[in-house]
Amino acid sequence: MKMLKYLFGKRDKELDIMQEEAIQSPFRTVVRNFVSNKLSMGGLVVFLIIFLIVLIGPIFNPIDLSEQEETQINVGPGLKMLDVPDELEGNVKEISTGSTFSVGLDNDGNVYVWGYTKVSNRIDVADDMPSKEELGKVVSVSAGFDHVMALNEDGEIITWGSDRMGQCQLPMEVKHEKIKQIAAGYQISYALSESGEIFCWGNENLNDVRLTRRNGNSNIAKISVANTTLMALTEDGEVRHMGSQSSDISKIPEDLGTVKDIATTADACVALLEDGSLRIWGKANKSEREIPEMDGEIVSMFGGRYHITALTDQGTVYSWGSNTKHQTDVPKSAQNVVAIYGGTYQNYAVTESGEIVTWGLKGYLLGSDELGRDVFTRILNGGRMTMTIGAISVIISTVIGIIIGGISGFFGGWVDIVLQRLTEIVSSLPFLPMAMILTSIIGNSMSENARIALIMVILGVLSWPSLARLVRAQVLAEREQEFVTAANAMGVKKGAIVFRHIIPNVISVIIVSATLDFAYCMLTESTLSFLGFGVKLPRPTWGNMLNGCVSSVVIQNYWWRWVFPAIMLSICVICINMIGDGLRDAIDPKSNER
């Protein structure tokens, strides 16, 4: 205890320089000098925080390399997709969810929009929403991929948002019909009239919809929008596919019988049968087909992108299907529910007390990229890859540098001449072009894991000359010391003298050099990946995340895609350099200020 108190506790009185140097160990002197350097300590703390985050983070937030989501492309940073306006609490009539935003309607006919509402560089469905006078008293709303539909009490349909494919331009025949249901889809709009006829306008080339009497466009009671097609339920309880192309969702089971309700996910349809059971068909994933046991009869349901949510007459909510965005994690507070709403990845449940309970995708902390992937998740996993490659490359280069530098400095003569010429040859090679050539020629025939291992080896093999020269210089000085002469006199083997006696005496210099080389290897890996010669997409690194951000459009409009990876890489490199500089100053006695 006394020893620990002496090492780490405060001394009762300050010692003069001679007393202090006489009793302090070299290690303690280095530690004290480093700790007293506030800049280096700050760099160490920041680097350790980032290191722990990228080391532990991927365990709780793993990456799916096959992930692509067209509805979540280039979503800006923020966690506001489930931020329901306070005005809707206790007064909600309907909620509809689009790709990244939701539209709510209260009992007074007022419309609210929240979430990530910027659907393009120039269009924001919240800012572009018509005035209350233009909307009138709204009775129904529907949110699509990039536009919104509203139906007022006069039977008028108002649309706003993106009109790139004409999805906001109402056909003349719709204006003369009495509409009972509206539905917005992917660049397309639908309306169901009181007479049971469906109308659609917008991108009919992308969406498989053929609305003719011959296709059964009559006597329709309800419509439900799938990814790029439309399913309908007739007044007689028959399910119809309102398209002409054969697909998994169009193959309606022949033994369905009478259907009470339908809902659609991206590529599947679920039907509530007359006996209260559910039938699912289409391109449904395994989790969508695993229908949970319920404690009552289903009274309402809706389909999200890859999940289904249902409400029973007991006020209990069930969600099942894919849970990549936590869209099936029903909170315990969703009790005594009277109504459910939702869509893509969001869920809303209204309780008897009027409280709105939400679960699902809140947003993206650092935004999403061009394929709809979470930037934060990719930064976590990419940071671990970048640091791993940098660390292993440094280990390889350090081992080679110590061996060659140690042997060259100790033995001298022709051994020194040969090894130094080899060092000069390697150091004269243009590092970056050589690394690009080697990874391009050798790496293209390898698997991705083998390619990553090759990158580590190449970086390590090409970056050892500077350390070898440094070690050689230190060994040349140390080999003339008395302990080396004593070891020679005692018959200690030459290799043991070099690596067991001399190298430990110069290890501090090696540590400083390796620390600085770590930052250099991280930058080099990022450069190679940025240029397309390093780790290949979709596996992320901080370097290749910047590869897709060279466009001026991305730089100006989707700043989060390049700012956050660049900041993380810059902070890490700066912190490592600060640590290296602090170690160098702490090891050098001349820098010890008293």
What secondary structure does DSSP assign to 329-398, as a single string?
A: ---TT--SEEEEEE-SSEEEEEETTS-EEEEE---BTT-B-TTS-BHHHHHHHHHHHHHHHHHHHHHHHH
User: Average pLDDT of 217-232?
Assistant: 91
- Given pLDDT bands bounded at 50, 70 and 90, which one contains residue 33? confident
Number of H helices, E strands in the chain: 17, 21
Q: Are 181 and 192 in contact (CB under 8 A)?
A: yes
* Average pLDDT of the chain to the nearest whole number: 87
Residue 84: how many CA atoms within 13 Å on its side-chain side?
27
- Rg (alpha carbons) of the chain, rounded to whole number: 33
| Residue 24: predicted pLDDT | 56
Is residue 13 pLDDT above 80, yes or no? no
Closest CA to 231 of 259, 244, 250, 257: 250
- Given pLDDT bands bounded at 50, 70 and 90, which one contains residue 590? low
Report how far residue 212's alpha carbon sits from residue 342's, in angstroms, rounded to the nearest whole number. 30
User: Average pLDDT of 273-301?
Assistant: 91
| Residue 49: predicted pLDDT | 94
| Residue 4: predicted pLDDT | 41
Q: What is the pLDDT of residues 62-116, one digit of tens each?
A: 998 888 899 999 999 999 999 999 999 889 999 999 999 999 999 999 999 999 9
Report how far residue 273's alpha carbon sits from residue 256's, in angstroms, rounded to the nearest whole number. 7
Least reliable range by pLDDT among 19-33, 224-238, 419-433, 560-574: 19-33
Is residue 160 pLDDT above 90, yes or no? yes
Bridge-partner residues for 184, per DSSP?
189
Cα end-to-end span (Å), the chain: 28
- Given pLDDT bands bounded at 50, 70 and 90, which one contains residue 121? confident
| 3-state SS class at 293 | coil
User: Average pLDDT of 525-530?
Assistant: 84
CA separation, residue 100 to residues 144, 224, 289, 304, 383 (Å):
10, 19, 25, 12, 27
Question: For 30-57+374-591, which CATH class?
Answer: mainly alpha
| Residue 6: predicted pLDDT | 42
Closest CA to 464 of 496, 422, 418, 525: 422
Is residue 594 pLDDT above 50, yes or no? no
Q: How many CB atoms lie within 10 A of CB 440?
A: 11
User: Average pLDDT of 282-298?
Assistant: 90
Among residues of the chain, what percentage have pLDDT more than 70?
Answer: 93
Where are the chain's structural domains?
A: 30-57+374-591
- Given pLDDT bands bounded at 50, 70 and 90, which one contains residue 215? low
Report how far residue 126's alpha carbon sits from residue 106's, in angstroms, rounded to the nearest whole number. 16
The pTM (predicted TM-score) of the whole model is 0.85
Bridge-partner residues for 262, per DSSP?
271
Is residue 14 pLDDT above 60, yes or no? no
